Chains A and B, each alone.
Chain A
Amino acid sequence: MAKGKVVFDENQCKGCGLCVTACPFKLIEMDEKRINSKGYHPAHVTDLEKCTGCANCAIICPDVVITVYRIDK
């Protein structure tokens, strides 16, 4: 299976949580320990190893925070 990588432009995140609901592998959560420059808890990936690069999170993000890469094996 293709392996993916996601990069969050963290300070653009508004903490809406839609990417959390869209990830088929539940790899994203809101980082309750940190606050970004907008004052929100930003989204982050918990286990990048499991990311397939499906881009569902990026497609649903209303603020275009996420860039997705794929490493084809």
Chain B
Amino acid sequence: MNIVFEKTKGLTDKTFHYCPGCTHGIIHRITMEAIEELGLLGKAVGIAPVGCAVFAYEYFNCDSYEAAHGRAPAVATGIKRVHPDCLVFTYQGDGDLAAIGTGEIVQAAHRGEKITAIFVNNAIYGMTGGQMAPTTLIGQKATTAPYGRDENHAGKPIMMSEMIATIPGAAYIERVAVNTPANIRKAKKAIKKAFEIQREGKGFTMVEVLSTCPTNWGMTPEDALKWLEENMMPYYKLGIYKSSEGSVING
């Protein structure tokens, strides 16, 4: 009898504190599986954000650090420059990376920092109770947008992958989703690829992962995956936005 799937050594034994069905858990797992498969657990340093993933350092079975809200790319920069042989990655939500920390991520990409950002886009501020994020879709309800996001008032949802891909210092940018087993497999491949490009010293890398927040979206976990597919994926198109081989946008 062969084991075809078991818990990665990249995760600690600690139980995730996430809500039932929240896909943060899947993204933690595939990130750490990728690092384990690359044989880099002993060389990896993860930077946790402020947001629901604030305790990520409790789960990553590698060296970890906790940054102030949005500042993970700056912390990662410091660590990578002092330890250039380490695999350094940030794990950030959309409130963290695309709101309070937009400046940090843009400047880190511009400097071509050899770090990887795992960017979890769930179109809302999860931890603080469901406020509108820059990534919230037009018409999507949030506690601070009770009638849904109004484009005239809040503009269109921010597309971070498209934006960062225009920066010369960015070497690899891909957007993936974790709504089905097939897409989860692809998401893991993208994360592994980004880590490999970091190791090759080619520049800044980011994988944007479309994720759910069943609790603040007010849906069952199953409906949240469907909502992601039907509403997020048409706007936030999956694909490679930047790589040495050019870009491939799906959809």
**In the complex, which of the residues A4, A56, A67 contacts B7, with contact meaning CB atoms closer than 8 Å?**
A67
Q: For the complex formed, measure the closest distance between the CB of A12 and the CB atoms of chain B, giving whole angstroms.
A: 6
Answer whether residue A28 sits at the interface, using C-beta atoms and an 8 A cutoff: no
Whether B221 pairs with A72 at a CB distance below 8 angstroms is no
Report A20-73 residues with CB < 8 Å from chain B CB.
21-22, 40, 53, 55-56, 58-64, 66-72
A residues engaging B (CB < 8 A)? 4-5, 12, 14-18, 21-22, 40, 53, 55-56, 58-64, 66-72
Give me the interface of B with A, judged by CB distance under 8 Å: 1-7, 11, 15-16, 18-26, 29, 180-181, 184-185, 220-222, 225
Residues of B within 8 A of A61 (CB): 25-26
Closest Cβ neighbor of B222 among chain A residues:
A21
CB neighbours of B185 from chain A (8 A) = 59
Q: Is the interface of A mostly helix, strand, loop or mixed?
A: mixed
Which residue from chain A places its CB closest to the CB of B178 in the assembled complex? A60
List, in ascending order, chain B residues with CB within 8 A of A16's CB.
20-21, 221
Q: A4-B4, A12-B15, A18-B225 are in contact. List 14 more A-B contacts (CB 8 A).
A: A21-B225, A40-B20, A55-B4, A61-B26, A62-B20, A62-B23, A63-B25, A64-B25, A67-B3, A67-B6, A67-B7, A68-B5, A71-B2, A72-B2
Among the listed B18, B20, B184, which residue makes an inter-chain contact with A60, where contact means beta carbons less than 8 Å apart?
Answer: B184
A15 CB contacts on chain B under 8 angstroms: 20
B170 to chain A, nearest CB (A): 29
With A18-B221, A22-B181, A67-B6 known to touch, is A62 a contact of B1 (CB < 8 Å)?
no
Interface centre among A56, A58, A61, A62 (most CB of B within 10 A): A62
> Measured between alpha carbons, how far is A37 from B216 in the docked complex, in Å?
25
The 8 closest A-B pairs by CB, nearest first: A62-B25, A16-B21, A14-B20, A68-B5, A16-B20, A58-B5, A56-B181, A55-B5
